[in-house]
Amino acid sequence: MTTPRDIRPVIEAFLKEIALYMKEIDGFVSPDNDSSSIQPSSSNRNGSRPESTTPTTTTRDFRRQSHRTTSSASSINLQHDVERIFARKVKAHVPVEFSKDQILKNIFTISFKGLLEYVRLATFSKNGYQQIQLDCHFIRVLLPHFVKETSTLEYQLSEIVSSASERCNDPLSMEQK
């Protein structure tokens, strides 16, 4: 992989899909995003909202393989493992308030969880790690255009970059260049 100069096409396509979802959501959620105003097409016969039966995901898989053999690297890995134990857990599949902001936030949350699992299973070169940094920074800049509350999503993006750093053979950050 060459030195990253632009976002990957998959990130651009992902954000275009999110923009399409925004338009679709506008069709069945009122413009003021009030959770109490549900149009008849999204309710059942008696007018009530159907209950969500989606199970919540609270456990994380932190198993990873370490190719580093030095004692300082293993102590860094141990430190990262302890930080993950005490890190706040982000639930991916939770009941959603029927508002545009909450629906989009959950779409981002589930997508970021998938990207995080991909990153935890891959091994990156220096350029691959920097590409992940670039893609996550680009998404982080655009998040406020999609959702109001971005702290949880920004936390997930930081976790993605951190995991990519751990899975990189030569983790030289773009800020260090």
Angle at the Cα of 140 from the Cα atoms of 135 and 146, rounded to 5 degrees: 115
Can you state the angle between helices 100-121 and 9-28, rounded to 10 degrees?
150
- Give the chain's mean pLDDT: 74
Average pLDDT, integer, range 56-74: 37
Q: Where are the domains of the chain?
A: 7-30+96-177
* Tokens encoding 103: 């629906």
pTM of the model: 0.65
Comparison of pLDDT for 132 and 51, the residue scoring more: 132
Q: pLDDT digit string (tens) for 95-154?
A: 767 889 999 999 999 999 999 999 999 999 999 999 999 999 999 999 999 999 999 999
